[in-house]
Amino acid sequence: MEPVRSCTELKGAVRHGAAAVSRIAFAISAVVALSACEQNSFVPPPPPKVEVGLPVQRNVTRYLDATGNTAPIKSVDLVARVQGVLQSINYQDGTLVKEGTTLFTIEPETYKLKLEQAQAAEAGAQASLKQTEADFKRQSDLVARQAVSQATLDQSTSSRDNAQANLQQAEVNTKIAAVNYGYTNVVAPFDGIVSAHLVSVGELVGASSPTQLATIVQLDPIYVNFNVNEQDVLRIREEARRQGMTVNDLRQLPIEIGLQTESGYPHKGKLDYISPTLNQSTGTLAVRGVLPRGWPLRIRTRWSGRPRSCGKFCSPQQRFASF
């Protein structure tokens, strides 16, 4: 038998039970309310957008990109070809000069006198030859009339032949003297930029060997040198064989050139030389182009233009290789 509770204990138990029921009901309502909030805030994502590109066929130019360097077509060391004291320097260092411009003058008076001396000797040889020819003709007439002996005619013939040889020697000496006199003026062999002079006025040059005075470089046009790796060479040869192109046809391909600081390839040139052999140490083929002028570092050459199948976003100037 359980003991009988008092009225006070019964009332407390009832109140405690009611409070518990109230808390449970509140919790359930809160959970229901939160669930309702989460369901109301959810928005389904839109379906993905898919773009479809249809294959098209068009002429696509494939390019071969390379990094190269430039080199002058002509670069000549200006040297003193005669011995003498440098008399004058007739240009400013680093300036552009025209072909035939006098750049250095080397003691011309001495060589001018030597030329005049050679010319005088040539004139004397001509006079001697004229005299011996007249004597030979006179002796020939006398021998024909049997007025003199044959030995006299032979001596006259020998004198005439010696005079002819002396004249030839004098003419050669005159030409040599004229050449040396011309060497006293060192002129520009072509249009170009002349480097800083390496000697000073008053210095003796050409004493024991030719003395370098300066260097002249032609910058218009210039060479553009670059290398093509072996894999690209094989692909290009296969494409050339397929299109029936010869080496001469490849040399007619245009090249596009740009500086590292430039966008695109604004300079135009053409291929000039293709090495017949690969470099065994690097596995590359040396190629050279010609550019009117400039200092390009990036080169692009077109080597194929056949139709290809490409996507919607295919560029009409798609690059094939880059190295």
Average pLDDT score over residue span 276-283: 88
Which two structure tokens, joined as six digits, stand for 73? 């077509």
Angle, helices 150-183 vs 108-144, to 10°: value is 160
Domain shared by 64 and 143, yes or no:
no
Domain shared by 243 and 175, yes or no:
no
Asked, for residue 188, whether it belongs to a domain, the answer is no
CA dihedral 4, 9, 10, 11 (to 10 degrees): 160
pLDDT score of 303: 57
Asked, for residue 81, whether it belongs to a domain, the answer is no
Domain shared by 267 and 315, yes or no:
yes
Residue 279 is classified by DSSP as B
Domain shared by 67 and 115, yes or no:
no
The CATH number of the domain holding residue 133 is 1.10.287.470
pLDDT tens digit sequence for 96-136 = 999 999 999 999 999 999 999 999 999 999 999 999 999 88
* Positive or negative: CA dihedral 305, 309, 315, 320: negative
The length of the chain in residues reads: 323
Is a pLDDT exceeding 50 seen at residue 322? no
The CATH number of the domain holding residue 246 is 2.40.30.170
Supply the mean pLDDT for the chain. 80
End-of-domain residue from the set 133, 163, 183: 183
Tokens 């959970």 correspond to: 31
Average pLDDT score over residue span 144-167: 88
The alpha carbon of residue 10 and the mean position of all alpha carbons in its chain are separated, in whole angstroms, by 111
Q: Report the number of distinct structural domains present in the chain.
A: 2
Domain shared by 237 and 174, yes or no:
no
Compute the 3-state secondary structure of the chain and give helix, strand, coil in percent, each to the nearest 5. Answer: 40, 30, 30
pLDDT score of 272: 86
Report the percentage of the chain scoring pLDDT > 70.
Answer: 78
* Domain span at 122: 108-183
End-of-domain residue from the set 130, 161, 183: 183
Threshold 0.85, pTM exceeds: no
pLDDT tens digit sequence for 79-101 = 999 999 999 999 999 999 999 99
Task: Please indicate whether residue 139 or residue 173 has the higher confidence score (pLDDT).
Answer: 173
Among 24-28, 204-208, 268-272, the minimum mean pLDDT is found in 24-28
Asked, for residue 191, whether it belongs to a domain, the answer is no
Task: Please indicate whether residue 224 or residue 305 has the higher confidence score (pLDDT).
Answer: 224
CB of 106 closer than 8 Å to CB of 84:
yes
